[in-house]
Chains A and B, each alone.
Chain A
Amino acid sequence: MLRKDLLRVSRAGGGYRPQFAGRSHRPLAARTIGVFQGHVGEPRHRLDGALDDLEADADDFKLVRGFAALLERDATFEARAPLPPERVRRTVFEAAEGVGGVVDDGDREAALGAAADRLGTDSGAVEASLYADRETNEVCTGVEPRWDPDGLIEQYNLSLAQTALFDATEVRLRSSDPANLVSAVKRLGLLYEIRRRAETDHERELVVTGPDALFRRTRRYGTAFARLLRSVAGSAEWSLSATIDDRGTERELRLDQGDVSVPGVDPIAEPTYDSGVEADFAARFAGLDLDWELSREPEPLAAGSRAMIPDFAFDYRPAGGAAGDPDGDAGAPPFRVFFEVMGFWTPEYVAKKLDQFGSVDDGVELLVAVDDSLGVGEEIDALDHRVVTYAGRVRVKDVVDALREYEADLVADAAEALPDELVPEADVIGIDGVAARRGVGVDALASVSFPAHERVGRTLIRPAVLDAVDAAIEPGASLSDAEAVLDDYGIDDASAVLSRLGYRVAWEGLGGGTIEER
């Protein structure tokens, strides 16, 4: 980090772009290092004078000062005085009072002489010591730059970018090392939330602000953002965008691994946070034949002033049918479970999110998958069944297990809500059709009686229909004729109905057969 007055940015095109140093500044970096090394043994004001001269030669004096500010950290200065300056001052000022106040050269010599006597030295040593400890008079005793010119430029660019963040009010980040990023955010006392950049963008970013940012745009957290950059810049792939309050004008600063790196630190190559986790999961889930239908990118869920868009929704469509109300109206919405694959998380955050998004009563339920490896060292014991963990990829089985819990509850709930008796209008209807129309599982119908129908296999048939079918089928008829009759009545479960009527099929070869009495 540099002092803010050394910040160099370009606002061309309404942007906010730090003016990074490049290869062409190598000679200037080398000269600045040289000026420091050449002033070992000299007082600071001489060094400052030489740097001023260098500034005059350079296109950009702030660049020289920036280099110098970094190098100064590796230079040591100390006061060199014949006598301890503070003691000398005390003695001199007392002596000045002793001569009745110094107002001219005569008084001055008398006072200095008196002080020298008391200190057992001469006036020259007294004068040389008087303010030898002022910073500007300190002597440079050594310079050990930790950087060569290239390293100095690299460090300068990092420091410059950090300085540009002093005026930031919000920072948005992506990193190939999100676990480290999240822990740095927390360590610095900042807050974050996870957002998609756009609805169509599957990759998420960490939006970082500080507590007070809730109430006003504030630059208070600028130095914390600058520190955060140092953590971020140590990872292999990252990008940052920041909102800058540039004396009241809002500007955007964008940085990535091509702009800034940390000298002497090899970027940490961590497994990438993979938004492919979602796509992969969707494909595998769709391959199963379940009562749950998966849709990607469902509608946003309201969460306070902001919306959250979960990754998926699972709609419960029991018995494979289109769930709807029993009367076949436009249809009550199916029971829906939202599913979010969380890239970044903490137990508190997950627990809050779950509480926030209602419960079965509201018909909205949220299930989350959290990456085990991003737990930021915290326990996950506190989390309940609505959380599945994953490492690398989300296991479909874990999610199905979680959904089964809802399913069991749903079946039980639905069964309780069912009447003891049902009289479907249709003469012939499949049990699964009834279940689908009631929005329940087939199992839930086990305890329901159908007084107007007879249950034959998987089908409910009114007795009159059964009689009519019975009359239309004679022993000796071909199976295909019998099936045609059944089909006319909308019955597709031929073997169960024929069996109920006391017939069986005498099979002939592979295709046909003849109806005969049992």
Chain B
Amino acid sequence: MLTLRYEDGTIRIDGLEADDDAVESVPGVAWDDRGLVARAPAHRYAALRDALADRGVAVDDRVATPDADRLSLSHAYDLRPYQAEAVAAWRDAGDRGVIQLPTGAGKTVVAMDVVAELGVPTLVVVPTIDLLDQWRRELETEFGVAVGQFGGGEQAQEPITVSTYDSAYLRAEDVGGDFGLVVFDEVHHLGGEGYRDAARLVAAPARLGLTATFERPDGAHEVVADLVGPKVYEAAVDDLAGEHLADYEVRRIEVELGPAERDAYEAAQGTFVDYLKRSNLSVRSGSDYRKLVMRSGTDPKAREALLAKQRARRIMMNADAKVDTLGRLLDRHRDDRVIVFTAHTDLVYRLSERYLLPAITSETGAAERREILQRFRDGTYSRVVTANVLDEGVDVPDANVAVVLAGSGSEREFTQRLGRILRPKADGGRALLYEVVSEETAEERVADRRR
């Protein structure tokens, strides 16, 4: 008789000896000399359990959710056809895998349906404080139960608990054996080495990943597939636009630097480029850039070059013309609901002070952030300016205009920002996305690549 227990991020298997065949032959099992016991990684628990069952081994499984802890939950959602398909595909895959849906397509509903269907203690892992609030609110409202929370200053566990990736990483060993289902919202975060443990050390046999973009250029999706499962269902923006998502239009506005800004920019950029020339590096290559960053730790010239580059970027980002352009756009959209995005916290506050816009950044406290979003939702505020913190998956209902000031990057970011304003509008109006970039700069190349 083997006994399986969860212990510190591993499955401890008592009843095996070092030289038992099972130590070699059951996948994932290894002998631990430190405690003289056999162990398997927590995330392979389901595979281990199934392998032992296949061999007819008698097991006292103390990892499995006891019947007494099962939950009886139901929700009032009427699943859309693609949502039902997604759930079915995930169940067919053995309660394991990733569902890819565009932002705004109701990933939360899919997850809630899975939670209700399985009825086991569930951990929901999300990337931001906003999502933490949002999931918790929805779970509490829909299921009528107390929902625990790890993160945002709280550490309270309930059969259903919502956690940030950070807290899940930190608490993994303590709580990793307490859940039968784990849901990873914006699952691509598991690709980051630091966050992997949030999945590795959790034993939950049922694992659901949600994302708008599964494939990633850095290959992180392979890690996700290993820890959560492969992609089991996908629907693209085009499949859903016009049906469940609002239609949208992108407008690009180019602005010029003022003469003083231009001089300062060129001086800073010149310092940077000169250093590169002297040291035979090129900015086009990412590895050369990393070399520069490494050198800057010891070489004052390299550090000077790097600081100059940052200065140039800041000038570009903060261009007065962008600030003025935003004023014109706000004027044009006085009757609309506008979200302004920019990557730079300092610029957010500059815009907030200039146009008296409610601001949300990583500095904003949880209560105030909640209040601002609530007031935006209920119409008290018609505009808000944020520094990327709303990048992922927070509901901001009925915003119909977005202004992106100097976006910084990847396709993923773009899709998801776009997704933010793609909410069905009551009157069916067309959503607008402005992209404000400085002329002749690296920013434009980033913007071009997206097309």
Q: Are A134 and B41 in contact (CB under 8 A)?
A: no
Give bound CA distance, A303 to B352, whole Å: 66
Interface residues of B in 294-338 (CB under 8 A from A): 297-298, 300, 303, 327-328, 330-331, 334
Which B residues lie within 8 Å of A60 (CB)?
298
- From known contacts A108-B356, A111-B356, A352-B35, infer whether A97 and B380 are also in contact, taking CB-CB under 8 Å: yes
What separation, in Å, do the CA atoms of A95 and B380 have in the docked complex?
A: 11
Contact, CB under 8 Å: A108 / B354: yes
User: B residues within 8 A CB of A450?
Assistant: none
Do B33 and A211 touch (CB < 8 A)?
no
Judged by a CB distance under 8 angstroms, whether B104 is at the interface is no
Which of A134, A211, A306 interacts with B39 by CB under 8 Å?
A211
Q: Are A93 and B34 in contact (CB under 8 A)?
A: no
Q: Does B31 touch A at the CB level, under 8 Å?
A: yes
Q: Which residues of A contact B18 (CB under 8 A)?
A: 303-305, 356
From A61, A94, A130, A303, contact of B353 by CB (8 A):
A130
Any B CB within 8 A of the CB of A104: yes
Do residues B363 and A212 form an inter-chain contact, with CB atoms below 8 A?
no
> CA separation between A97 and B357, bound complex, in Å?
9
Cβ distance A415 to chain B, nearest Cβ, rounded Å? 33
Question: Which residues, 34 to 62 on A, are CB-close (under 8 Å) to B?
Answer: 59-62
Q: Which of A93, A112, A192, A218 contacts B357 (CB 8 A)?
A: A93
Q: Within the complex, what minimum Cβ distance (angstroms) separates A87 from chain B?
A: 11
Bound-state CA distance A97–B135 (Å) is 29
Are B200 and A96 in touch, CB under 8 angstroms? no
Binds A, one of B6-14, B82-90, B209-217, B235-243: B6-14
Q: Which partner residue on chain A sits nearest B169 by CB separation?
A: A220
Nearest to A220 among chain B residues (CB) is: B197
Q: Are A214 and B382 in contact, with the CB atoms below 8 A?
A: no
Residue ID in chain B nearest A356 by CB atoms: B36
- Report the interface size class on chain B: 35 or more
B349 engages A131 (CB within 8 Å): yes
User: Is A122 an interface residue, CB under 8 A from the partner?
Assistant: no
A328 at the interface (CB under 8 A from B): no
Confirm or deny: A135 has a beta carbon within 8 angstroms of a beta carbon on chain B. yes
Range class of the A interface residue count? 35 or more
For residue B296, which residue of chain A has the nearest CB?
A61
- Bound together, the chains give a CA A100 to CA B298 distance in angstroms of 53
Complex CA gap A267/B381 in Å reads 61
B297 contacts across to A, CB distance below 8 A: 8, 62
- Find A211's partner among B36, B173, B354 (CB 8 Å cutoff): B173
Give complex CA distance A286, B28 in Å.
48
> Is the CB–CB distance between A100 and B334 below 8 Å?
yes
Alpha-carbon distance between A215 and B32 when the two chains are bound, in angstroms: 10
Whether the Cβ atoms of B36 and A353 lie closer than 8 Å is yes
Q: Does B423 contact A (CB under 8 A)?
A: no
State the CA gap A89–B367 with chains docked (Å).
14
Is A134 in contact with B363, judged by CB distance below 8 angstroms?
yes
CB-nearest residue of chain A relative to B375?
A93
Tell whether, in the assembled complex, residue B10 and residue A193 are in contact, meaning their CB atoms are under 8 Å apart: no
Q: Does B121 contact A (CB under 8 A)?
A: no
CA distance A92 to B297 in the complex (A): 44
Inter-chain CB contacts under 8 Å: number: 108
Q: Give the residue of B30, B35, B355 whose beta carbon is less than 8 angstroms from that of A215.
A: B30
Tell me the chain B residues, 347-405 only, with Cβ under 8 Å from chain A: 349, 352-358, 363, 368, 371, 380-383
Within 8 A of B (CB), among A114-131: 127, 130-131
Give Cα A418–Cα B31 distance, bound, in whole angstroms.
42
Which of A62, A101, A134, A212 interacts with B349 by CB under 8 Å?
A134
Contact call A94/B380, Cβ cutoff below 8 A: yes
A235 part of interface (Cβ distance < 8 Å) = no
Of chain B, the residue at the smallest CB distance from A213 is: B34
Q: How far is the CA of A212 from the CA of B42 in the complex (A)?
A: 9
Let me know if A304 and B33 touch, CB within 8 A.
yes
Across-interface contacts of B352 in A (CB, < 8 A) = 131
- Which residue in chain A gives the minimum CB-CB distance to B174? A189
A210-B34 Cα distance, complex, nearest whole Å? 10
B201 within 8 A of A: yes
Beyond A92-B356, A212-B41, whether A101 also contacts B33 by CB under 8 A is no
Are B201's CB and A212's CB within 8 A?
yes
Contact of A103 among B200, B300, B355 (CB under 8 A): B355
Q: How far is the CB of A195 from chain B (nearest CB, A)?
A: 10
Which residues of B (35-52) have their CB < 8 Å from a CB of A? 35-37, 39, 41
Chain B residues within 8 Å of A322, by CB: none
B330 contact set on A, CB distance < 8 A: 101-103
Residues of A within 8 A of B354 (CB): 102, 108
Which residues from chain A contact B383 at a C-beta distance below 8 Å? 101
Asked whether A376 is an interface residue with its Cβ less than 8 Å from the other chain, the reply is no
Q: In whole Å, how far is B42's beta carbon from the nearest beta carbon of chain A? A: 8
The answer on a CB contact under 8 Å between A209 and B34 is yes
A463 to chain B, nearest CB (A): 55
Note all chain B residues with C-beta closer than 8 A to A209: 34
The answer on a CB contact under 8 Å between A192 and B41 is no
B173 touches A189 (CB 8 A): yes
Specify which chain A residues have a CB less than 8 angstroms from the CB of B331 in the assembled complex: 101, 103-104
- How near does chain A come to B362, taking the closest CB pair, in angstroms? 11
What residues on B are CB-neighbors of A487 within 8 Å?
none
Chain B hits for A90, CB < 8 A: 371
Q: Are A211 and B356 in contact (CB under 8 A)?
A: no
| Given contacts A192-B34, A211-B9, A96 and B356 within 8 Å (CB-CB) | yes
Known: A212-B9, A212-B201. A96 touches B33 (CB 8 A): no
Whether the Cβ atoms of B35 and A191 lie closer than 8 Å is: yes
22 pairs across A/B with beta carbons < 8 Å?
A60-B298, A61-B303, A90-B371, A93-B357, A93-B381, A94-B380, A101-B383, A102-B330, A108-B355, A111-B356, A127-B353, A134-B349, A135-B363, A191-B34, A192-B34, A210-B8, A211-B9, A212-B8, A212-B200, A214-B10, A220-B197, A352-B35
